A and B are shown apart, each in its own frame.
Chain A
Amino acid sequence: MLSEGSSFMKGVFLGGLFCLVLSLLSSFSPSTESGPEDLHHHHHVMAPSKDELTRFSDSRMQELINQVRVSCIIMVQPKLIVYWATAVDTWSKHCDKAVFYTSEPSKALEAVDLNEKDDWARLRKALRHAYETAGDLRWFFIAKATTFAIIENLKYLVLAKDPSQPFYLGSAMKSGELEYVTYDSGIVLSYEALKRLVNVFQDEDKCPERGRALWKLSEDKQLAVCLKYTGVFAENGEDAHGKGLFNSNSVETLIKDSMKDNPNNVVEGCCSDMAVTFNGMSPSQMQVMMFGVYRLRPYGHDHLDSLVFLPPEGSDND
């Protein structure tokens, strides 16, 4: 009797183990829930998981929602007027404050004209202006005219992060020893990071306004150098599964790549559900994105999100 019982139990155990092994083998996918910490080559900031958010009390959640307000700094030029107009008409309406800084004045659209031809100097002036006029806004998002952003997903990413700590995030790349956030896919700075940056602008040795004549670094790398002096380092913005949220390419380019690399799982292998930015989308496609992100959905698929963002006033394409 005992030997039969133990044979039975051995059978159950082995059967279950076999099944587990089979299913793990067949569903093995490279993305993991919470990856091992040091296998990343860079620092990263991950969006909160559903579980993390449910741990907050309702009042704490409301505090966080009120605190996570974003000031958008959008660098434009008249030669990109259609992109500029599209940014005005689309995603920038979801910023708590959106200010356009231009290289030259335009009769068609309003912007802060910093009267500065040099790209790096102009960016510095824009950042200083944004810092001085921040009011009670504590998160800053720097974009180009060709960027498309989903501000709600940015808020979700930084929701539980303290803006009085230095945060500098986006799509983090490495150039030699320097780790920097690429400009194309948008740059996020917390209030503390911006404060330190504006302070180090005054140091002509560490952070010169006119780049040294021989080699001119791109603005995003210059930004990284200056921030590094203040002890602020670039971090890669990722979703709860480790997928990058900031994209330097358009959705179409990413899907095209995915059709080649993951032909059997094109959409899942492409981009995060909570993506924050894309770059290089045409103005028409940005209108399609507004429809796709803020309106189009399949009836009956309800997400039980832990917080609510209301639609902006006076807008009809979201």
Chain B
Amino acid sequence: MSSYLFFSIGLLLGFVSLYYMLDSYTPLSENLPMLPNSTQNIRILCWIMTGPKFLESRTRHIRATWAKRCDKTLYMSSVSTAFPTVGLNVREGRENLYWKTIEAFQYIHKHHMDDADWFLKADDDTFVVVENLRYLLSKFDKEKPLYMGRKFRPFVNQGYMSGGAGYVLSKEALRRFIKGFKTGECTHFSSIEDMALGKCMETMKVEAADTRDIKGRQTFHAFPPDHHLVRQLTRPRPWFLLYDTYNSAEGPDCCSDLVVSFHYIKPLQLYFLNYLTYHLRAYGYKYRFNPDEQNPEKTADTTSSTSP
């Protein structure tokens, strides 16, 4: 009788110990290496602005690519589903985007305040390199009221962050956003989500940070890489750079090596960028840009604003 008992214990032990042994042997490509200490205690909650119409065509590809690298990911919609999506009390449509944003942040403030230090909003056609966002955020004080993204100049004095490029609120910034709506300092005065949120941030004295890298190159981008990277012959500023606060370059200086985001990225491009970021590389190549080294020479214009 007792030999059966020993057999069962042995069975369990054998299974469990081999399970743990196999688990620690993960194929090279899936190994997410240990990040340097400074970036490890940064928790990011990502929320994706989406809707029922786009779950199949867009959002599931976001889920299959970068979304899993966030510490917590929420998909905000008007309908709750098993995707899973959070069903907010809003209607779909362009004119309801700021309502959706307000509701989303209220939801996060109510249920997920303690899950993260930073809160990223992205669209269902934004590509984000979460590791580079972590690195960027590690340079800032997470206790301060800060707001990061691709800074646009018009409408708001201190600038506002492009919605499509993705923006990040610190915990204190999020608290002040919620408070603003409680006290009436912030209102739904416009349906233009990114500009309206930017105005609220300014009202509540949340600082719009400068997220360019140490060479003065942008990290958040409101358009796909080819819009920014492709060298053009000298011409007047292209329309899509007219809103920029800083003198943003076109061509190779447009973008930091440690890029954080691109926008208007269709599913095929999501996988393409995923391949370029995490897989394809030049064996043995020594990168020119090594941000942890001292005394870099600035190559892009680092003046704080464009001249008219």
Residues of A within 8 A of B (CB): 3-20, 23, 89, 94, 150-153, 155-156, 251-252, 255-256, 258-259, 264, 266-268, 270-271, 273-275, 284-285, 287-289, 291-303, 305-311, 316-318
* Chain A residues near B275 (CB-CB < 8 A): 251, 255, 267, 270-271
Q: Separation in Å of the B236 CB from the closest CB of chain A?
A: 20
Q: Are B229 and A291 in contact (CB under 8 A)?
A: yes
Main secondary structure of the interface of A (DSSP, over half): helix
The stretch that binds A, out of B6-14, B77-85, B144-152, B199-207, is: B6-14
CA distance A187 to B134 in the complex (A): 42
Q: Are A255 and B258 in contact (CB under 8 A)?
A: no
Does residue B281 face the partner (Cβ distance < 8 Å to A)? yes
Q: Are A11 and B252 in contact (CB under 8 A)?
A: no
A sample of 5 cross-chain residue pairs with beta-carbon separation below 8 angstroms, ordered by A number, consists of A20-B22, A150-B282, A255-B271, A297-B257, A317-B229
Residues of B within 8 A of A (CB): 2-19, 22, 29, 32-36, 39, 64, 129-132, 134-135, 225-226, 229-231, 251-253, 255, 257-259, 267-268, 271-289, 299
CA distance A266 to B283 in the complex (A): 22
* Chain A residues near B281 (CB-CB < 8 A): 273-274, 293, 297, 303
* Chain B residues near A6 (CB-CB < 8 A): 3
Q: Are B231 and A89 in contact (CB under 8 A)?
A: yes
Q: Are A284 and B6 in contact (CB under 8 A)?
A: no
Besides A153-B282, A252-B268, A310-B286, 9 other CB < 8 A contacts? A7-B7, A14-B10, A259-B267, A294-B285, A296-B259, A299-B35, A299-B135, A299-B258, A311-B285
The 8 Å CB contact of A298, one of B131, B284, B289, is B131
* Chain B residues near A298 (CB-CB < 8 A): 129-132, 277-278
* Chain A residues near B252 (CB-CB < 8 A): 291, 316-317
Q: Separation in Å of the B57 CB from the closest CB of chain A?
A: 12
* Chain B residues near A4 (CB-CB < 8 A): 2-3, 5-6
* Chain A residues near B229 (CB-CB < 8 A): 287-288, 291, 317
Q: Are A15 and B284 in contact (CB under 8 A)?
A: no
The 8 Å CB contact of B29, one of A8, A11, A273, is A273
> A283 — nearest CB in chain B belongs to which residue?
B230
CA distance A261 to B11 in the complex (A): 39
CA distance A7 to B34 in the complex (A): 41
Q: Are A23 and B22 in contact (CB under 8 A)?
A: yes
Q: Are A12 and B10 in contact (CB under 8 A)?
A: yes
Q: Are A16 and B277 in contact (CB under 8 A)?
A: no
Q: Separation in Å of the B26 CB from the closest CB of chain A?
A: 10
> A14 — nearest CB in chain B belongs to which residue?
B11
Q: Are B284 and A16 in contact (CB under 8 A)?
A: no
Q: Are B283 and A152 in contact (CB under 8 A)?
A: yes
* Chain B residues near A273 (CB-CB < 8 A): 29, 279-281
* Chain A residues near B6 (CB-CB < 8 A): 4-5, 7-8, 11
Q: Are A16 and B15 in contact (CB under 8 A)?
A: yes
Among A274, A287, A295, A299, max chain B CB count under 10 A is at A299
Among B33, B34, B135, B268, max chain A CB count under 10 A is at B268
Q: Are A252 and B18 in contact (CB under 8 A)?
A: no
Q: Are B14 and A284 in contact (CB under 8 A)?
A: no
* Chain A residues near B259 (CB-CB < 8 A): 296
CA distance A151 to B284 in the complex (A): 11
Q: Separation in Å of the A291 CB from the closest CB of chain B?
A: 5
CA distance A300 to B138 in the complex (A): 13
Q: Separation in Å of the B25 CB from the closest CB of chain A?
A: 10
CA distance A103 to B260 in the complex (A): 43
> A293 — nearest CB in chain B belongs to which residue?
B282
* Chain A residues near B132 (CB-CB < 8 A): 298-299
> A303 — nearest CB in chain B belongs to which residue?
B281
Known: A15-B11, A274-B283. A285 touches B288 (CB 8 A): no
CA distance A297 to B130 in the complex (A): 11
Among A89, A285, A297, A306, max chain B CB count under 10 A is at A297
> B136 — nearest CB in chain A belongs to which residue?
A299
* Chain A residues near B14 (CB-CB < 8 A): 11-19
Q: Are A12 and B285 in contact (CB under 8 A)?
A: no
Q: Are A8 and B7 in contact (CB under 8 A)?
A: yes
* Chain A residues near B282 (CB-CB < 8 A): 94, 150-153, 293-294, 309
* Chain A residues near B5 (CB-CB < 8 A): 4
* Chain B residues near A20 (CB-CB < 8 A): 18, 22
Among B8, B14, B34, B231, max chain A CB count under 10 A is at B14
